[in-house]
Structure 1
Amino acid sequence: MLQARFGGLVVPEYVRHFIDQEGRDTCYADIPTIARGQLAWEDDARARQPRLLILDTHLLSNLLWSRALFGDCPAWIEQALLERDYDLHLLLDPEGVDWVDDGQRCQPQLSERQGFFADSLGWLQRHEQVWQVVGGDWPTRSAAALDAVGQLLATP
């Protein structure tokens, strides 16, 4: 939707590719490989210098999922995340839309997703990142995301 409206490049979520290639769930030992893969995809897209770079996810997801699933995360991942600049984070509120089982997604309970959302928001706030919560039904979310990115691109 964002790319259709504004152009640019989209970087997908590396962990989905990893799981498809490996044919299994992840384990703690996979976290560095997944994080490096995500960074490589992001760096490849950045090197092309698009007007707009849309990341489905970045190292914050790797960091928080590693902690949630395994109770730990390699320290270099947070440091690598903090060394990068992102103009805007669109943080999707888990309320207002149904959870969809896609074979890889977990946390079917809303309370679980709300906890992950709170962890994400807390990290963004603590590290003074630019963020906007996107909530409501899908049409409302789409409109809010389009508006936020449109405003970002209009800023000189």
Structure 2
Amino acid sequence: MIKRIAITGPESTGKSELAERLARHYNTVWVPEYAREYIDNRTRPYDYEDILVIAKEQLKREEQLVRKANNLLFCDTELIVTKIWCEVKFKKCHDWILKTIEQHTYDIYLLCKPDIQWKYDPQREDSETREQLFQLYLNELNERNLPYAIISGTGEVRVKNAIKLIDSFEI
């Protein structure tokens, strides 16, 4: 049985790099964040309806890649990220996302702490709210009673901290 590990947290906390590095360490595959690709290919700003398209495609790609995984599948984002993004940006969230979050969970969530330097990226929206968003993720994981670990540290230390936590979890 493949164990799914979600990499979650505010933007610019190293989620993509961490997912890729962990997949390489554990000799498996990872699911990149589809939102980045989708938004890059748009000729207009994204809107509320785009969030649902992104969410569905993200899960579709996850289901495709789980077949190629070697014991673990690292997911660079998950629906809690989408829910919080949608609620913060649009003050509402699609019912499909809310219902699917209940059914589609992970063996562990790695919550990336915003303790690394913000990196500019045209898709990133607000460097000032990372700590506030981190608290929203933390609250959501706690309210849902989901298994999680907070990942901190910079560079190689961050990756090693994540590896240590994954190895210590009985998943």
TM-score higher than 0.5: yes
Aligned to 2:84: 64
- Taking only aligned residues, the RMSD between alpha carbons, in angstroms, comes to 1.5
- Which of residues 38, 43, 52 in structure 1 aligns to 2:58? 38
CA distance in 1, matches of 2:73, 2:36: 19
Unaligned runs of 5+ in 2: 1-20
Aligned to 2:119: 100
Aligned to 2:137: 120
Aligned to 1:150: 167
Question: Is 19-28 or 125-134 further displaced after alignment?
Answer: 19-28
* Contact residue 28 and residue 69 of structure 2 kept, 8 A: no
CA distance in 2, matches of 1:93, 1:10: 20
- Which of residues 16, 19, 33 in structure 2 aligns to 1:13? 33
1:24-66 deviations in Å (ceiling 9; x for gaps): 4311121110111111111112234531100010111111100
Which amino acid in the other structure matches residue 123 of structure 1? E
- Which of residues 129, 142, 151 in structure 1 aligns to 2:146? 129
CA distance in 2, matches of 1:149, 1:15: 26
* Contact residue 62 and residue 75 of structure 2 kept, 8 A: yes
- Which of residues 40, 48, 70 in structure 2 aligns to 1:28? 48
CA distance in 1, matches of 2:73, 2:86: 25
CA distance in 2, matches of 1:25, 1:150: 41
1:1-40 deviations in Å (ceiling 9; x for gaps): 1112111110000100101121443111211101111111
Aligned pair 1:55/2:75, yes or no? yes
Among all aligned residue pairs of Structure 1 and Structure 2, give the percentage whose two residues are the same amino acid: 28
CA distance in 2, matches of 1:8, 1:151: 18
1:137 positional shift: 2.3
1:148 positional shift: 1.5
The structure with the greater share of residues assigned to strand is 2
CA distance in 2, matches of 1:62, 1:85: 14
CA distance in 2, matches of 1:13, 1:49: 17
